[in-house]
């Protein structure tokens, strides 16, 4: 008979599974990440995995939400320190660094990621939707005390294009963060009052 886990153990195991999933996702992708591998690293049996997540896709959706929440939190922390254009710029730079460090732009635009999306139930797809991104960005803009000069979808598109630079660093032929700084300095006043 399998032993039960305490609430503290359950929390720790779930955190370990999520952490190992994120690492493997970044280095191996969704398809090449196996439940067996994750369970081995988390120190549990494959059967125990299903006490924590319904499926591999459920775990990946959970991790995707955690990553996005972490990114938005970092951006919002910068804005909280300085609720103005400069705070927004600093927060956006932190967001860019998160995307870059995890290589998330490449991951989110890959066929591998599309395979995951195709397997997720409809209610889990909201995390990757443009509505989710716009809602979070809208909240950050509001916290920054910024007034949009352009429609929010256009602003979101422009900022998304800047984030996409992290996937094309080799083509920039210059320090990508210096290029990001230049673009932000040039466009922020055109986007916000």
- Tens-place pLDDT, residues 100-115: 888 787 787 789 988 9
How would residue 145 be classed by pLDDT, with cut points 50, 70 and 90? very high
Q: Is 148 helix (H, G, I), strand (E, B) or coil?
A: strand
The pTM score is 0.83
User: What is the rounded distance in angstroms from the CA atom of residue 49 to the CA atom of residue 124?
Assistant: 19
49-97: per-residue pLDDT in tens? 999 999 999 999 999 889 888 888 999 999 999 999 999 999 999 989 9
CB 75 within 8 A of CB 142: no
| CA 62, chain centre distance (Å) | 11
User: What is the rounded distance in angstroms from the CA atom of residue 140 to the CA atom of residue 83?
Assistant: 9
1-49: per-residue pLDDT in tens? 456 789 999 999 999 999 999 999 999 999 999 999 999 999 999 999 9
User: What is the rounded distance in angstroms from the CA atom of residue 61 to the CA atom of residue 158?
Assistant: 26
Residue 158 token pair: 């422009």
Count H helices, E strands: the chain? Answer: 11, 0
3-state helix, strand, coil in the chain (%, to 5): 80, 0, 20
Question: Which pLDDT does position 1 carry in this prediction?
Answer: 42
| CA 16, chain centre distance (Å) | 18
Select the more confidently predicted residue: 29 or 167: 29
110-140: per-residue pLDDT in tens? 899 889 989 988 887 766 666 677 788 889 9
For every residue of 11-60, which 3-state class applies, written as one string? Answer: HHHHHHHHHHHHHHHHHHCCCCCCHHHHHHHHCCCHHHHHHHCCCHHHHH
């Amino acid at each position: 008979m399998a032993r039960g886990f305490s609430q503290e153990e359950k929390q720790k195991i779930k955190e370990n599974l999520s952490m190992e999933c994120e690492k493997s996702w970044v280095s191996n992708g969704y398809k090449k990440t196996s439940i067996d591998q994750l369970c081995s690293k988390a120190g549990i049996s494959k059967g125990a995995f299903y006490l924590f997540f319904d499926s591999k896709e459920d775990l990946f959706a959970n991790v995707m939400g955690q990553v996005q929440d972490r990114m938005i939190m970092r951006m919002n922390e910068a804005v909280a320190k300085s609720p103005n254009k400069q705070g927004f710029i600093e927060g956006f730079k932190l967001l860019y660094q998160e995307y870059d460090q995890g290589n998330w732009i490449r991951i989110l635009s890959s066929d591998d990621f599309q395979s995951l999306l195709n397997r997720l139930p409809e209610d889990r797809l909201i995390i990757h939707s443009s509505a989710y991104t716009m809602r979070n960005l809208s909240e950050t803009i509001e916290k920054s005390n910024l007034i949009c000069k352009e429609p929010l979808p256009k602003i979101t598109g422009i900022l998304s294009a800047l984030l996409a630079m992290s996937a094309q660093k080799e083509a920039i032929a210059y320090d990508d963060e210096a290029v990001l700084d230049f673009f932000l300095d040039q466009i922020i006043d055109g986007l916000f009052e």
